[in-house]
Amino acid sequence: MAKIKIDKKIVGYRVESADDKSAAQKSGQKADVKRLPVEGNVVRMHEKLERPEMLQGSTYKVKTPVSDHAMYVTINDVILNPGTEHEQRRPFEIFINSKNLDHYQWIVALTRLMSAVFRKGGDVAFMVDELKAVFDPRGGYWQPGGKFMPSIIAELGHIVEKHLRFIGLLPPDNLDEHKRKLVDQKRREFEDQQRQQDAFAKSEYPAGAQICGVCSAAAVVYMDGCMTCLACGDSKCG
């Protein structure tokens, strides 16, 4: 019996029977050869993918009331299989620049970890929910437009979500027709209520002023030790 030298690590084995040999001979194939599905030259995202010389990216400006300086978040993307039906745009790395050095350490650590997750491949959308769930124990802040942010990290999660929607890794955040009609109806009802505001909301006098018993204007305030009307001058002090 001829000796066979094994140069590679054994990862599995099986006992070949006579039936296997006969079946392999009839089909013209070797019994120990497994045919795997071939994907051709399709490139998938993985950690060993080399960084191209040029990457396409987007920069987002973040201005929060908790800091005097804005942050600029840049996410660079790599285009896999360009010009083919398998073309896909994937995030490759992320950078955050700011003049505020108070958060420099955790910004560098966070961006390196996020970039490593991007290059690992697979579903990276889970980071959006993880980042948006982080809250600041000192309290959050309101964005222009009335959106509450529990922390700076949460706002970073919203930026990543926005970018993933932009490159197509997440579906667009669009309301269906039923929800859109409902929102439009509620908005019209609210606007109608605002148009029907009484004189208290449009008063030229200080907020919280009481109604004057003489002129009926909401202009009575406490000053100089007694209640005084700023409209007609009526005062309990005489």
Q: What is the pLDDT of residue 159?
A: 94
Residue range 146-184, pLDDT digits in tens = 678 889 999 999 999 999 999 988 888 776 777 777 767
The domain ranges of the chain are 56-167, 196-238
Q: Is the full-model pTM beyond 0.75? A: no
Among 211, 205, 216, smallest CA distance to 227 is for 211
Sequence-distant (6+) residues with CB within 8 A of 86 are 42, 80
* Candidate from 65-79, 83-97, 188-202 with smallest mean pLDDT: 188-202
The CA distance from 204 to 10, in Å, is 87
Residue 47 amino acid letter:
E
pLDDT beyond 70 at 193 = no
Query: Roughly what angle, to the nearest 10 degrees, separates helices 152-167 and 104-120?
Result: 30
Question: For the chain, what is the radius of gyration of the CA atoms?
Answer: 33
| Token output for 192 | 């109608």
Residue range 103-157, pLDDT digits in tens = 889 889 999 999 999 998 888 989 999 999 998 888 888 877 667 888 999 999 9
